[in-house]
Amino acid sequence: MRALFLGLISLLATLGTGVTAQAEPVHGIAMHGQPALPADFKNFPYVKPDVKKGGRVSYGVVGTFDSLNPFILKSMRTTARGMLDPEYGNLIYDSLMQRSRDEAFSLYGLLAETVEWDDDRTFIQFNLNPKAKWADGQPVTPEDVIFTFELFRDKGRVPFSTRLAKVEKMEKVGDRSVRFTFNDQADREFPLLIAMTPILPKHATDAATFDQTSLKFPLGSGPYRVAEVKPGERIVYKRNPDYWAKDLPTKIGFDNYDEISVEYFLQDNSLFEAFKKGEIDIYPEGSPTKWSRSYNFPAVLSGKVIKDTFTPKTPSGMLGFVFNTRRPMFENPKLRQGLALVFDFEWVNKNLFDNAYTRTQSFWQNSGLSYLGVAADDRELGILGDIRNRINPSVLDGSYRLPVTDATGRDRNVLREAVTLLREAGYGIKDGKMINDKGTPLSFEIMTQNEGQEKLALAYQRFLAALGITATVRTVDDSQYQQRSQSFDYDVIMKSFPSSLSPGIEQISYWGSQSRDQQGSSNFAGVADKDVDTLVSAILRAVSVEDFTAAVRAHDRLLVSNFYLVPLYHVGSQWVAREKHIGRPGVVPLYGYQLPAWWDETVQ
């Protein structure tokens, strides 16, 4: 009895101090539901676990670089590829957890052996793997984790710089654990973003100069080390044979080359020619006409180069001409809608692309998250509230589609509809010019980055000219394009907004009021709309799959109704050409092909 009494006293004392009870350590976490793989899983299903490591691969990219630090604003668009890279892999820095590309949004242990969190996600605790070490052999410690987040807060770029804004307390727990306790600004996705943050070594990072661009070879805990740098031209990585995580289930079948080089080119034509000559091993293709017409060179005909087509099970995303609503002329949604209708997709698809593309109508097309063909139900209407009054009725019932033209470039019916919208926005045609009631002509500049974008912009220019609208097209070099994009110095720009099966915090960067004036954010349209913020918040707060789906559809409907951009097109396939000696797994995951799981078959 005395023991029971003392136990109750101890329990009450613990509750009185506000100490949170320990959660059970788990091997993986998911945004919604549970991770698909059990605690004893051996490897991800889309790798070849017994692959022979060795050999080399040469990637090619268009652009330049002047820094090896991917975490600061000064170099965010000119960092050497591979440092922190969704396509080639994070070669230098490991994160606390590793994402599975075969699930919507699930993470499994990497630097963190296990994690602990509660159902309400008020905290997350990372229990570091005792084997985790830096490339110099030093162990990865809780102090490294804390140092990294504080350094990112003080000198990093968005989104790393804002991570601690949602953290009430960050503390070391025991010998090898770090716990993040969240404040009321945090959402349900936030713990997963913390888990995906790369960690830096405190003992080998100069905090005083961290915000300056640098070509100093960094020290990381990842599978590769930087071996050679030719600024703006080439970077070479060598695999670390002592990589601490090479036998972890989340790393089996990855990081298979002894050497990875990334070659830089000024133009895509030069890159493609280098691939044709065998100087580059892998060439992802984005043009359907080029895929069908340009792969008849000798290496393809002889079988030395192989063409692969992959079909991911992911949403279409959205590509379009983006209106910068920071410019007063683009503040009116009727004007934006009218300008969007002027673009003759059918003419472009027929004359430029051999009818290879599908018109994009939704940001989450080809998935259950899209509004297309789905009327807003009571759950979604409850999320929308009065916002429903701002949504086109045909978008609300799921029937809206962009008009289909006669492919002449001057479809009178569609142009008549566009003129009506422009008139409602205060513009009319006088003496062959589209002007407002002050006599100011409707004119703007479209900034493009390459020949492909320029070709589309020139077509759009011709369509607009039919209504007396003057659009100038300016193609700028890579560095100027990066600088102007980053500082939002443009009228109209062509941008892509990728969509995943688990949209979350990136929607704030794309569309949130708080990102409108953040240089380096992806809010290219300059959106600052409380209703958009409300729907993004609903996505981030959703607990059930049903609430999450309804919130994403509501967000999709509002974006489509607001015409922040001219929707263009998409294809449902991924095209990649590769040298025959580059092997790949037979299983294609949910998100499509994964280059870090490929290998060099010349290795014996």
pLDDT, tens digit (0-9, with 9 covering 90-100), for 211-266: 998 999 999 999 999 999 999 899 999 999 999 999 999 999 999 999 999 999 99
Domains 93-221 and 318-569 agree in fold: no
Average pLDDT, the chain: 93
Whether 309 shows a pLDDT value over 80: the answer reads yes
pLDDT at 158: 84
Fold of 93-221: D-Maltodextrin-Binding Protein; domain 2 (3.40.190)
Q: Which residue has the higher pLDDT, 482 or 169?
A: 169
Average pLDDT over residues 103-111: 96
Q: What is the chain's Cα-based Rg?
A: 26
Label residues 289-311 b or e (16+ Cβ within 10 Å = b): eebeeebeeebeeeeebeebeee
What confidence tier does 18 reach under pLDDT thresholds 50, 70, 90? very low
Average pLDDT over residues 293-318: 95
578-590, pLDDT tens digit by residue?
999 999 999 999 9
Fold of 231-312+573-600: D-Maltodextrin-Binding Protein; domain 2 (3.40.190)
Domain 318-569 has CATH 3.40.228.10: no
Whether 604 shows a pLDDT value over 50: the answer reads yes
Q: Which of 266, 229, 243 is nearest to 68 (CA)?
A: 229
Q: Where are the beta strands (DSSP E) in 159-290?
A: 167-173, 177-182, 224-230, 234-239, 259-265, 282-285
State what percent of residues in the chain have pLDDT above 90.
Answer: 87
What confidence tier does 22 reach under pLDDT thresholds 50, 70, 90? low
Domains of the chain, by residue range, sit at 93-221, 231-312+573-600, 318-569
| Interacting residues of 348 by C-beta distance below 8 A, sequence separation 6+ | 456, 459
pLDDT at 511: 98
* Cβ pair 535, 503 in contact under 8 A: no
Return the bridge partners of 198, or none: 95
Q: Which of 106, 94, 86, 101 is nearest to 34 (CA)?
A: 106
533-549, pLDDT tens digit by residue?
999 999 999 999 999 99
